[in-house]
Every structure is written in structure tokens, then in C-alpha cells.
Amino acid sequence: MPTPHDSYRFKNGVTIPNRVALAPLTNLQSHADGTLSDVELAWLARRAAGGFGLISTCAAYVAKDGQGWPGELGVDRDDQVPRLRELATALAAHGGLPTVQLFHGGTRAPSSLTGQQPWSASAYHEDGPEFEPPRAATEDDLARTIAAFADAAARCERAGFGGVELHGAHGYLLSQFLSSAMNQRTDGWGGDLAGRARLIRTVMRAVRAKVAPGFVVGVRLSPEDFGQARGLDLDETIAVARWLCEDGADFIHLSLWRSERMTAKRPDQHPIPLFRAAIPADVAIVVAGAIWTVAEAQAALDRGADLVALGRAAIVNPDWPRASAAPGWEPRRPPLTIAELEARAVSPHFGGYLRRWKGFVAD
């Protein structure tokens, strides 16, 4: 069995030095217009210097009407390319593969940021003081957004990144279309699974057609309902993953929240072997979900994952890939003071966001 410290070769020939990825993490650090900030660059470069084999940016919106929160990175305009190039160069200098997570919030793109009513697969309502009922997507919305994803991927490639990940998880736009609860359309973009999967598949094919074969393209999926992701069925997600591989995916990123947990639909079965059996062996499976220790990372690999993605553990342990090679090493765990976080290239603004996570920041 491979270990977290072994190299990995994607099916298109791109090789990364180890099997440890920096998961895309919301941090609110970019400028108001979506351009990269110095603190965002420093945060990512510090993890690249720590030896992560694959380094993903936070979710980056592909169109202004898809911006999900203040301080989100944007990849929707050509004038962002020079700063994006600085970031890609800084990350690649340490040997890892720099990638961008491409994002559209759909329903979860508030009008206070976008200046317009949110849109999604269907118009629907949820109880809650902050919920803005979305309008149903038009054919023009869909054509525009498919092109925006493809153009953003090409922009990232031009800036020097080695790949992109489509954010198809966590109840954002692509996940909303996959959802049997949120997608009530009766045209070709809804109905059965093939209709609900049409948007994410079309985006994958459009992105794949717009970039070079050596550019890595993957997709993040929520296998089942959790949090904002609703209306998702395990077997349907497995089928979608299989289709996306046919459409050109180099990796499938499973957002499991807790990597050791069995599936909700079949509590005696773990999701990793189910997806591994369903998709081609040369398509990588990336797994994220509260992985802190080498043993937890190894357990995911032993179940059939090819890479593990670290989120909170990478915030606290920016040198995880290098440090974890030492026998007996144990990761630092929260809480950390703001000063300790700043020493790990976490900006005060990001530190303020981390206070939302119970027990993460020491008072």
C-alpha cells in the first residue's frame, strides 16, 4: 500500500511529490474586488513550503453572480491574471502542484455581494432570516455559467496553475442541480439523475475542452446529505462520479467530513471502497474529512484513496507533509492563540473567521 509520503502520478502524466493535499479553505482574505491579497499569497505559500504535494486555493468564484462571501478570491476577469501568476509561481517553487477550486454559489450567492437575486436550479423557499429565495435558472444563465467555468479554467492555466477543481459539493450551484430536493425542473436540466447531472457534466466537458491535456481537472462531491448539501443519494453520487470520469476528470474529491465514518445509506460500508470500485483505477480519489494523524491518512489510503486532503490540520500544522515523516510525530491540535496562528501565516482576518469554529482559537 502507498503511504502519504509516496509520490503520485495522475493519469495525464503529472506527478506530485506526495499524497498530501491542502484542502480548499474559506478564509475571507482576498480584496473586495476578488483580487489576490498579500496575506492570501503568504498563507498558501507557507503550506507549499511545508511540502504539500497538491495545494488548492480557497473557493474562487467564476462569475460575479456566483460570489458566495466577502473576501472571496475571484478568477472571473483577465485583469486578475498577473496576481494569480504570482501565486502560481510562488506555490510551484516548492515542488507541489498549484490548483484553483472553481466555484459558483447559486442560491448561496447573496444579493448584498452580487447586486442581483440569487438563482439556482429552481425557485424554492427555506425558513430562515437570511434565506433569499432564488429564481429558476434560464437557458442564458446556464450557457453563461458553463462558459464562465471554462474561461476561468483557461485563465488559471494561463496564470501558471497546474489544475482546477470544480466545486460540486456542499450545496453550492453544481450540487444544487444534483439535488433531488433543490432541483425541481422538468426540462433537460432536471428530473431524473441524468438531467440533474447535466450541468456538472457539461461544465466538466467544457473545462476539459478549454485546457491542455496536461492540466489536471477534478471535481469535489458530497456523497450524501450533510449540512447544506441536501437531496443527495449515495448511489446516485457514485453514478455521477463514474460519468464525470467519462467526461475527463483526473480526480474525484470526496468531502466526507469525517473520513472514518461509514455511509448513512449503508452503515456497514465505507464510501471510499464503493467509489474506488466504481471509477477507473487511473482516476485519483482524494479524501477529506477530519484527517489529523499519519495513521488516519494511512487508513484512508488503505481503503482505496490516492490522496488525502487536510483542512484544519493544515491550518495548525503548515509543515504536516515534512514533519509527519519523522517517526512518532504527532500533530499540534487546537486551540491556538491568534499569535500562534499568525506565526503560521494565518492573517488576523482569517483568525477572526476561525473563531466561528468552536474551540479552535484560544481566548
CB count in 10 Å sphere of residue 15: 10
pTM > 0.95: yes
The answer to whether residue 183 is domain-embedded is: yes
Find the mean pLDDT for residues 29-52.
98
Are the CB atoms for 223 and 232 separated by under 8 Å? yes
Find the mean pLDDT for residues 188-212.
98
Q: How many domains does the chain have?
A: 1
Q: Please give the pLDDT value at position 127.
A: 87
The answer to whether residue 348 is domain-embedded is: no
The answer to whether residue 354 is domain-embedded is: no
Q: Please give the pLDDT value at position 129.
A: 86
Q: Please give the pLDDT value at position 54.
A: 98
| Catalytic annotation, pick one of 8, 61, 172, 353 | 172
Note down the domain range covering 147.
Answer: 8-332
Contacts of 176 (CB under 8 A, 6+ apart): 106, 107, 120, 121, 182, 183
Q: Please give the pLDDT value at position 130.
A: 86
Find the mean pLDDT for residues 326-338.
97
pLDDT tens digits, 269-292: 999 999 999 999 999 999 999 999
Query: Over 90: is that where the pLDDT of 128 sits?
Result: no
The answer to whether residue 356 is domain-embedded is: no
Q: Please give the pLDDT value at position 65.
A: 98
Respond yes or no: is residue 172 known to be catalytic: yes
Find the mean pLDDT for residues 36-46.
98
Length of the chain: 363
Are the CB atoms for 236 and 251 separated by under 8 Å? no
Are the CB atoms for 145 and 102 separated by under 8 Å? no
Quickly state the pLDDT bin for 11 (edges 50, 70, 90): very high
Query: Over 90: is that where the pLDDT of 363 sits?
Result: no
pLDDT tens digits, 229-275: 999 999 999 999 999 999 999 999 999 999 999 999 999 999 999 99
CATH of the domain at 321: 3.20.20.70
The answer to whether residue 98 is domain-embedded is: yes
Contacts of 7 (CB under 8 A, 6+ apart): 15, 16, 17, 18, 19, 53
**Cα–Cα distance list, 9 to 17, 42, 53, 70, 287 (Å):** 9, 27, 11, 36, 16
The answer to whether residue 2 is domain-embedded is: no
The answer to whether residue 235 is domain-embedded is: yes
User: 239: burial class by Cβ within 10 Å (0-12, 13-18, 19+)?
Assistant: middle
Q: What is the mean pLDDT of the chain?
A: 97
pLDDT tens digits, 142-192: 999 999 999 999 999 999 999 999 999 999 999 999 999 999 999 999 999
Contacts of 349 (CB under 8 A, 6+ apart): 27, 28, 29, 39, 71
The answer to whether residue 187 is domain-embedded is: yes
Give the up-direction half-sphere exposure of residue 327: CA atoms within 13 A in the CB hemisphere.
Answer: 0
Identify which has the larger pLDDT, 76 or 1.
76
